[in-house]
Structure formats: C-alpha cells, structure tokens
Amino acid sequence: MAEQKQSEPEELSKKQRKEIAKWFLINSPPGEIQYVAKDVESLLMDEHVYEMAVSEAFPLYNKTHMICLEMPNRSGEVLITAFGELDGSHYLDPRNAQVATVDHVKQVCSMVRPATDDELPSSYVEEFRGALDAELVRYISEAYPKGICSVYCISRKDAEGPGSDFELVAVISAGKHSPQNFCNGSWRSVWRIEFKDELQLVELIGKIEVDAHYFEEGNVQLDTNHECKDSTIFQLAEECAVSLANIIRHHESEYIAALEASYSNLPDTTFKDLRRKLPVTRTLFPWHNTLQFSLTRDLTKELGIGN
C-alpha cells in the first residue's frame, strides 16, 4: 500500500492568532503584561496582528487589575476601573474632580482636565461619597501601605436630598511588583453600596480578589477570590461612612485571616497529596519544617497587608 501522506496542519488565520495573543496578554500575572507583550510580539512576527491584540487586551487588563496611574504634574492619581470609565481613554478621579486621558498600552496618563458638572454627582450624593472616601483613605493608610482607593457613584448621581435612593461603589487596589525578586502580587476589592432611603438601610456586596506570582526557578501562582454581603442603617453621611468603613475592614481582615489559616494547613493536606511518601531520592520531605514554604506569609509581607 502506498504510504499515506500526513495532512499538514492548517495555518492559523490572523484573527485566530490575534485572539491567542490577546488571551495571553489578558491573563498576564499582575504587573507583568509588558513583559508578556514583548514575548508575544517576538513570537507573532506580525506587527499588524500584534497591534490589534494589544489594543484590545491592554484596556481589559488595566481595568481588571485596577492599575493606578500618576497624573501629569503630580496632580494626583487615578484608578483605571470600569466604574470611572467615561470612554475608552478617559477616566474620572472623583476625589479631585478631574478626568485623566490614558494611554492603555503605555500605561501612562498623558493629560488631565477638570470634570464637568454632568460627570460628577449631586451635592447630596457627594456628601456621602466624600465622607466614605475620606474614611477609606484612613483605613488604606493603616492596612495597605501600597494601596489606593476610590469611591464612585454608579446609580442616581443626580439624587437631590433625603428620600432618594442611590448607589456607590468603593474600590481598593493594592499591589507589590518586585520582578527583581521574582515576585508580583495584587489585592483588589470592590464594594457595591446601595443606599435605600425608604427602608433606612444601606446594603453592601463585596468581592475580593488576590493574585500572586512567584517565578524564581519555577512558576507558582495564587488566584483566589471571596464574596460577602452585609448591611447597616441609613444615617448621616459621616456616621454612614464610619460604619461602612468598619464593615469593609472587618470582612477584609477576616478574609486575610482565613487565607492564612488555609495555607497553614497545606503541609498536612495538599502538599502531602502532591508527593510520594518516600520519593525516588529516598529523602523524606521536611514536614516538620514546612513554615519555610509559607506562601501566605510572603504574600502578606510583599503587599504590606495587615501592618
């Protein structure tokens, strides 16, 4: 019989290559997308496909990781989030009532302008927004030395006085990028806060995400998240802010403690399941001294959490 020729694999289309490159860029560990982009560019060897991939991937990555950019002339900082996005390249800084123009691929803020009245909440909503923002700044300075926060109005920003419902979202982002030490990590929490005047109730829904990447002679990644709910009574702006900040502090501290407890049990559970009782080297794993492999301890130290 004649030898059957093996069919050659079909060449990927430009769209397929763009989507693959985009996937790698979007899934880059915290603080590492620029490094991944260089590798992707050299592998693609197609400048047009590369430009399409980065133009789509970088905005998504920047918003997902809620990166912080410094504004020109040291006029402040702006968080890149979907909540402050006015359009693809303009982001609101509600604390200083400014709008930043952002270059996503270069990850820089090129210019800044004052926000218009239409881009800002009413004076009534701003009273609650500003009070919560001030309380979170105090909390961040204690718990996240390398963190930043912002509070946005995402619903009914035109509410005028008691009797109106509105919704705020509080965003906390903290990161430690130390590639020279083969370690990068980030902490991101988003708290949606609904003010219900008729019920005299304020409800919170929080989501916390933690990412870490250790790559010294290996590739170890932590990717975890946690969701929670809580509520408090509707009070004056200052009292509401204090109560809400305390609730956020409580849930975040509780989650950090849960992470520490979970990873302290790894030696007796997951680690043992990953290894033989006696490996081929005939050398027992040092279960009596597993504290030297504390991922949570190193992550807490790198992010400055709980100091």
- Is 120 in contact with 105 (CB distance < 8 Å)? no
| Domains delineated in the chain | 12-64 (3.30.1140.60), 65-119 (3.30.1140.60), 121-271+291-303 (3.90.1150.210)
Q: Is 266 exposed, middle or buried (0-12, 13-18, 19+ CB in 10 A)?
A: middle
Write the pLDDT tens digit of every residue in 236-256.
Answer: 999 999 999 999 999 999 999
Structure tokens given for 177: 């990028």
Q: In this model, does residue 298 exceed pLDDT 90?
A: no
Q: What is residue 193's predicted lDDT score, i.e. its pLDDT?
A: 97
**pTM beyond 0.85, yes or no:** no
pLDDT digits (tens, 9 = 90+) for 8-66: 556 788 899 999 999 999 999 999 999 999 999 999 989 999 999 999 999 999 999 99
Q: CA dihedral in degrees (104, 110, 115, 121; nearest 10)?
A: 30
Q: If you write DSSP's letter for every residue of the chain in order, what string do you get?
A: -PPPPPPPPPPPPHHHHHHHHHHHHHTPPTT-HHHHHHHHHHHH--HHHHHHHHHHHHHHHHHHTT-EEEPGGG--EEE--TTSEEETTEEEETTTTEEEEEETTTTEEEEEEEPPGGGS--HHHHHHHHHHHHHHHHHHHHH-TTEEEEEEEEE-TT--STT--EEEEEEEEEEEEEGGGTEEEEEEEEEEEEEETTTTEEEEEEEEEEEEEE-SSS-EEEEEEEEEEEEEE---HHHHHHHHHHHHHHHHHHHHHHHHHHHHTGGGTHHHHHS-SS-TT-----GGGGGGG-HHHHHHHHHTTT-
